[in-house]
Structure 1
Amino acid sequence: MKLCFVTVGATASFNLLIQAILEQSFLRELRAHGYTNLLIQYGKDGKSLFDEFLQQYPPGSEGHHGLVIDGFDFNSDGLDHEMRLAKAWPSEGRLGGLIISHAGSGSIMDALRLGVPLMVVPNPTLKDNHQQELADILQEQGYLISSHYQEIASSLDRAERLRAQMAQWPPVSRAQEVPPPSLEQVMSDELGFLD
């Protein structure tokens, strides 16, 4: 099993990401990269999109591209269990997968702790798009892949390259005159922690 877990978070709707994940081009590309399972946390407003997809492409149909596709709206216990399904676990027959997340700082921190490749997709419909700033900084430092929702299929190659780079963790930043802020500094700033 090689699983791609997608989360849109618990507070804001992100139907643009759900639609992009369910596009045939993305599913085809996911399968081409060896994935067997797609698990989607579609949030409070994404159920209708997920149900429409299943009506149009029932399980086992060509529209699933050989993938087992499941979804749910919310997990009050958090997403730790679902995220861990993307972690390599050879004794259970699991290959290392991928987490695709909205760019919420909590989701990013949870995914980074697991050491699983992370693709972050900032929600462009948010009024103050702090998600894009966070995603850009963390991508620049080599911690994750930042992608626009319309480019997730083509970003899968970058996610697989990130997997190889993660073997050399922590990431090596490009030489710069002023070193970029550390992950700890970025997360502290994002979460509002003061020194």
Structure 2
Amino acid sequence: MAPENQKTAFATVGTTSFDALVDQLISKDFLQTLHEQDYQRLVIQYGRGITEPQSRIVHGVEVRAYRYKPSIREDLENADLVIGHAGAGSVLETLTLNKRLLVVVNETLMDNHQAELAEEFASQGFLHWTTVSKLPTVFPALDWRNIKKYQPGKPELFAQYIDDFFGI
């Protein structure tokens, strides 16, 4: 639950650069949509990107941002919703905490395994996913009622699945 009973969205791009997502998140239109969904706070971990979001309040949504921290665990725990890239570590850590997760796939990556990972977890009912261009229309229409709680299994089996999936 968010501190001070404020509904919080946390966005993370990990160690990558995903300016298209960050730019979309800090747009006035998206912040208005967050406000309409009763969010009062957006915290953005923006990684190596060029876009450096400024702390401000837009449409009643407080925006905070940082490049990196030693751990994003506290931000994940305080979030009511996580919007993130499709990095396996970010996805698993978020799902293990049973947080609502909207994965935004970076379409500019070559051999985009992120899309495959997001599609697989979504097909199993653990998360929703979209692309940056579809985020403004997909986000307000999301239905979280049928999202399943992720039950972490044996990490070595997941590691083997990833190795097999990527042919390692």
TM-score range, shorter chain: 0.7 to 0.9
2:158 is equivalent to residue 165 of structure 1? no
Alpha-carbon RMSD: 2.6
Residue type at the aligned position of 1:152: L
Q: 1:187 and 1:117, CA in 2 relative to 1: closer, same or farther beyond 3 A? A: farther
Q: 1:144 and 1:32, CA in 2 relative to 1: closer, same or farther beyond 3 A? A: same
Q: Which of 110, 113, 126 is the aligned partner of 1:130?
A: 113
2:67 is equivalent to residue 73 of structure 1? yes
Normalised by the size of structure 2, how large is the TM-score?
0.83
Equivalenced residues, count: 158
Secondary structure of 1:146's aligned partner:
strand
What is the aligned partner in structure 2 of residue 84 from structure 1?
A: 77
Q: CA deviation at 1:186?
A: 6.3
What is the aligned partner in structure 2 of residue 8 from structure 1?
A: 13
- Contact 2:98 2:149 survives alignment (8 Å): no
What is the aligned partner in structure 1 of residue 81 from structure 2?
A: 98
What is the aligned partner in structure 2 of residue 116 from structure 1?
A: 99
2:148 is equivalent to residue 145 of structure 1? no
Computing the radius of gyration from Cα coordinates, the structure with the larger value is 1
2:41 is equivalent to residue 37 of structure 1? yes
Q: CA deviation at 1:158?
A: 4.5
- Contact 1:105 1:187 survives alignment (8 Å): no
Q: CA deviation at 1:74?
A: 0.6
CA distance in 2, matches of 1:132, 1:186: 17
- Compare the two structures and name the one with the higher strand fraction: 2
CA distance in 1, matches of 2:94, 2:36: 23
- Contact 1:9 1:107 survives alignment (8 Å): yes
Residue type at the aligned position of 1:100: I
Normalised by the size of structure 1, how large is the TM-score?
0.72
Deviations 1:39-83 (A, max 9, x none): 00011224x4414xx6xxxx34xxx1101110000112x211110
Identity %: 29
Deviations 1:96-137 (A, max 9, x none): x21001000000000001111100011112222000001111
Q: 1:68 and 1:137, CA in 2 relative to 1: closer, same or farther beyond 3 A? A: same
Structure 1 residue runs without a partner (length 5+): 87-96, 172-181
